[in-house]
A and B are shown apart, each in its own frame.
Chain A
């Protein structure tokens, strides 16, 4: 079956522009996570959605970052007024739920470069 997909695979933008990154989770997975992988900070959690519950935004680095999940499926991560330090690979993962036995499956990532 299809895995987690993300688009675009690469995004180059100019400092100050807004970008949107998309994640399509595995069908039937109620939990969706965003992580960021950068040279300076390693792999870090950003935000997660579980069903209809309010998202856990505790990992978002600033108020320029936001995410939404429409219809319990596709999610969009938006970065406003991008800065060079936002350059990273943004990874999306999904899982059946959030219990101890629910493994997260990762998408291929979106490489964001801010010039």
Chain B
């Protein structure tokens, strides 16, 4: 059974600094997703990582995948207030069922 763990659960960021969220998973996952969720809103897809060594970047966010270590990271460069949200990683089991991590609540302070 696939298990996904994220850390930290909460991240208080200062604007302009860099931070990393970690996502570990227990068994082979076909792919790894990162989602963003704003309060009271649904899930917004950020990245889909399909293979070992995959790296994707969008703006100040960069996600990477190491399938040998069963680790994905979401790196935030020069944090800004607009990035305040909860971030989830998710792996997939058979049938594309998503197994989510516990989420990382990010708060960016001026």
Name A's B-contacting residues (CB within 8 A). 31, 33, 35, 42-45, 48, 50, 56, 58-59, 91, 95, 98-109
Contacts and interface: CB of A to CB of B under 8 A. Distances in A.
Nearest to A95: B96
A108 B41 contact: yes
Nearest to A3: B42
A43 B97 contact: no
Nearest to A42: B102
Given A42-B100, A43-B100, A109 B95 contact: no
Contacts of B31: 100
B81 to A, nearest CB: 24
Contacts of A56: 95, 97
A44 B41 CA distance: 17
20 contacts: A31-B96, A33-B98, A35-B98, A43-B88, A43-B98, A43-B100, A43-B103, A45-B98, A50-B95, A56-B95, A91-B43, A98-B96, A99-B96, A100-B31, A100-B96, A101-B50, A103-B45, A104-B96, A108-B41, A109-B42
Contacts of A35: 98
Q: Ordered nearest first, which 7 A-B pairs have the shortest CB separation?
A: A43-B100, A98-B96, A106-B43, A106-B42, A45-B97, A108-B42, A100-B30
Contact of B95 (A91, A98, A101, A103): A98
A48 B43 contact: no
Contacts of A102: 96
A104 B44 CA distance: 10
B47 to A, nearest CB: 10
